[in-house]
Amino acid sequence: MVDPNPTVGELFKAKAVTDEQVNAAVEVYLSDLEAGIFPIADGYVVDVDAAVVKHLWASHVIANAESSLGLKRAAVRTAILLARAQKA
């Protein structure tokens, strides 16, 4: 049975989500920390804000004023890849 809500990482492995789409989601979140729903792939969305809030390490990195931009990008990317995508 196919999971109706795969993780973004599973969609990435299946080549349903591109590196560019994940990077765009990261940049949207970093430009607006309350970005909310982002269309990650054809027919799928992900709540980027909820993804980061639910990921303990990512939320700590974002909250730390001393975190570098590169570290913030990596943390947000990890949280997004682990988040469950929803059918749009």
Say which residue the tokens 């729903």 belong to: 37
Amino acid sitting at position 14: A
The pairing of beta strand 86-87 with beta strand 37-41: unpaired
Domain ranges, ordered by start, for the chain:
8-87
Per-residue pLDDT of the chain (88 residues; tens, 9 = 90+): 467 789 999 999 999 999 999 999 999 999 998 889 999 988 999 999 999 999 999 999 999 999 999 999 999 999 999 999 999 8
- Rounded to 5 degrees, φ, ψ at 43 are 90, 0
pLDDT of residue 2: 61
Cβ–Cβ under 8 Å, residues 86 and 31:
no
